[in-house]
Copies of this chain bind each other. A is one copy, B any other.
C-alpha cells in the first residue's frame, strides 16, 4: 500500500465510524474522560497539521489559527488549550466546519506525501497514522458511552465491532521459569514505551487461554463480590462505595434480569461472551475471589504465542513504568507517552475496536485503575 493509500484509508475509516451519528452526538461530553466525537475528528487533523504541514509543507497556510487552542490535547510545548472538561461546552467549530478542516488538511497532506517524505518526516507520518488509529478506538469507546448513557438508549447500529466478542473453552498454559526478552525489537512502527528490549526473569506461571466470561462474572456478583471488602484494594473498595458500583459499566438489572447496553441497544447479558467494561479494581477483585491473580505484563508477553488473542484489552498487575533505558524524544512528540508513567496500569492485547496493525504482543496500553469505559477485560493467572 502506498503512503497516500495508507493515509486515505486511515482517514476514511475515522469518518466511517462516525457516519451513523446524528450531528448532536458529535458535540457532547458526558464525563471528563469522554471527548466529543467532533473533537476527535479535529484533533487527529490538527496533529497532522501541527507536526507535519506547518513545519514541513512550505507553502501551507493554517486553516484557522484559533483551532490550535481548540484541538490541542495535552501538548504543553504547543501552547494553551481548551481545558479537557470544557470540550463538551463548545458548539463551534460546527461539525461541518470540522469536516471542512479535515478536507483542507487532507489536501495539504496529499500534496506533501506526493512530493516525498524524508526519513525523519516519514517517522512522524507513521506516528500520525497510529495516533489516528488510537483515536478510532477512543471514538468507539466515547460513542458507546454517549449513546449508552442517554436515557433513551439509542442503538448505534445492528452489525458492529461487538460481533467479534466470542469465547471458547478455557484452558491453562504453563510458562517455564527463566529469562525472557521483553519489548519491541523489529523495524516496523512501534511506540517509544515498547523500547528498549530487555531481559526479565519470570517465575513459573500458568495463564488462562481465554478471558473470564459474563457468566462467570455473574457468579462473582451473585456471591456478593461487590459487598465484601476482602476481595478489594482499599482504594478499590472506596471506589465501589463512593460510586455505588454493582456491576460492569453497561449492565442494568431490570426486573431481575441483567441487561447490557451494546452498540445494538439494550439486550440481555450473553453469558458466553467475555466480560467487558470493567475497571482494574473489579478485575483484581474477581481474581481474588476466584483464588487466582492477574498476570504481569511480562508473563503475558511470555505467554502471548500460546493464548487466544483476546478481543478486549486485558488488565495486568503491572504498573505502567519505563523500560530500562527509556528516554523520551525531544520536543512536543516526546510528550506522547513518558509523562503518563505514574499511577496507571498496563493493559495488554487488543480489543474489537483496535486497528488491526496495532495488535503487537509488545504493545503497552495504559489506563488509570478506576476507568472502564474502554473495552477492557480480564485473564487469570495462577
Contact = CB atoms under 8 A, between A and B. Distances in A.
A310 to B, nearest CB: 22
A167 interface: no
Interface string A70-84: 100010110000100
A201 B179 contact: yes
B27 A24 contact: yes
Contact of A28 (B30, B89, B146, B237): B89
Nearest to A143: B91
Interface string A331-370: 0000000011111010000000000000000000000010
A66 B152 contact: yes
Contact of A94 (B22, B69, B91): B22
Interface of A: 22-30, 38, 66, 69-70, 74, 76-77, 82, 86, 88-95, 146-147, 149-152, 154, 179, 198-201, 203, 229-230, 232-237, 280-281, 284, 293, 317-319, 321-322, 324-325, 339-343, 345, 369
Most chain B CB neighbours (cut-off 10 Å) among A69, A90, A147: A90
A70 B154 CA distance: 14
Contacts of A230: 76-77
A233 B341 contact: yes
Contact of A24 (B26, B203, B369): B26
A23 B342 contact: no
Nearest to A231: B339
Nearest to A203: B324
B151 A70 contact: yes
A212 to B, nearest CB: 19
A199 B201 contact: yes
A325 B150 CA distance: 44
B340 A234 contact: yes
B318 A321 contact: yes
A91 B369 contact: no
Contacts of A235: 342-343
Contacts of A28: 27-28, 88-91
Given A27-B91, A203-B325, 16 more contacts: A24-B27, A24-B38, A24-B91, A24-B92, A24-B94, A28-B28, A28-B91, A30-B86, A66-B151, A74-B234, A91-B147, A92-B154, A198-B203, A237-B339, A281-B342, A319-B319
Nearest to A234: B339
Contact of A88 (B88, B149, B200, B233): B88
A89 B149 contact: yes
A146 B29 contact: no
Contacts of A198: 201, 203
B152 A92 contact: yes
A202 to B, nearest CB: 9
Contacts of A233: 339-342
A154 to B, nearest CB: 5
A39 to B, nearest CB: 12
A154 B92 CA distance: 8
Contacts of A24: 23-24, 26-27, 38, 91-92, 94-95
The 5 closest A-B pairs by CB, nearest first: A319-B319, A30-B89, A24-B91, A25-B91, A201-B201
